[in-house]
Amino acid sequence: MKPLIRHCLALVIAIGCVGAAPAQAETAAQLAQTSQKALKTLYAKVPVAKKLGAKAVAILVFPSVTKAGLGVGGQYGEGALIRHGKVVGYYNTTGASFGLQIGAQRYGYAMFFMTESAFQALEKSDGFEVGVGPSVVVMDEGMAKSASTTTMNDDVYAFIFSQKGLMAGLGIQGNKISKIEK
């Protein structure tokens, strides 16, 4: 079997492991519900996230982002903005990547906006790019276990959760976040 055909076959299998994307996008009510549920699950697994949530100005939750690539990759997901416990808006996250990559995966992430200025950067932009503007700290399990809310003073904290699939490397740097109508 030729290498390109093997790579394409592997990509199809990897996408199958992650699961097919829903046939139609979630409604606003469904997206609000899945986002709230994902946040509660994160709080149950990562206590420091719950403590940050109590202090955050707003939380942007993407319950499911799909990422796939074969040399050139892309990712997409939709989420809800939660402020004072209520969903106040909807956003999508998109990204593209180039390089040695093959596979697919699904994951979620939540961004905790800790300052009003960081939140305003999201609200006033025509597409908030992670890594440009307010500082974003991506928390992994080790960091989350040793972190304390008294020593955490960055603008935005992001937690990646519910990873499924086969793809090397995961991050949110360079993702573009845009407001959408639901």
DSSP secondary structure string, 132-152?
A: SSS-EEEE-HHHHHH--TTT-
Q: What is the pTM of this model?
A: 0.77
Using alpha carbons, select from 104, 52, 57 the residue that is nearest to residue 81: 57
- What's the pLDDT at 169? 53
Q: How far apart are CA 2 and CA 58, in angstroms?
A: 50
Name the band, by pLDDT with cuts 50, 70 and 90, for residue 21.
Answer: very low
Name the band, by pLDDT with cuts 50, 70 and 90, for residue 3.
Answer: very low
- What's the pLDDT at 99? 74
Sign of the torsion angle spanned by Cα atoms 113, 114, 120, 126: negative
Q: How far apart are CA 70 and CA 68, in angstroms?
A: 7
Q: What is the mean pLDDT of residues 44-60?
A: 94
> Beta strand pairing status for 86-113 and 156-166?
antiparallel
Residue 128 sits at the vertex; the CA angle it makes with 127 and 131, to the nearest 5 degrees, is 140
Inform me whether the pLDDT recorded for 146 exceeds 70: no
Number of folded domains that form the chain: 1
Task: Dig out the tokens for 157 from the structure.
Answer: 């904290």
Inform me whether the pLDDT recorded for 2 exceeds 50: no
**Alpha-carbon dihedral 124, 126, 130, 131, rounded to 10 degrees:** -80
Q: What is the mean pLDDT of residues 42-52?
A: 93
- What's the pLDDT at 28? 95
Q: What is the mean pLDDT of residues 24-46?
A: 91
Inform me whether the pLDDT recorded for 40 exceeds 60: yes
Question: What's the domain range around 52?
Answer: 3-180
- What's the pLDDT at 80? 97
Q: How far apart are CA 59 and CA 157, in angstroms?
A: 10
> Beta strand pairing status for 86-113 and 176-180?
antiparallel
Inform me whether the pLDDT recorded for 42 exceeds 50: yes
- What's the pLDDT at 100? 72
Task: Dig out the tokens for 75 from the structure.
Answer: 């990712």
Query: pLDDT tens digit string along 90-139?
Result: 999 998 877 777 888 899 999 999 999 999 988 887 777 765 556 677 77
> Beta strand pairing status for 176-180 and 156-166?
unpaired
Give, in order, the Cα–Cα distances in Å from 165 to each of 37, 113, 137: 21, 28, 24
> Beta strand pairing status for 156-166 and 136-139?
parallel
pLDDT above 70 covers a percentage of the chain that reads 70
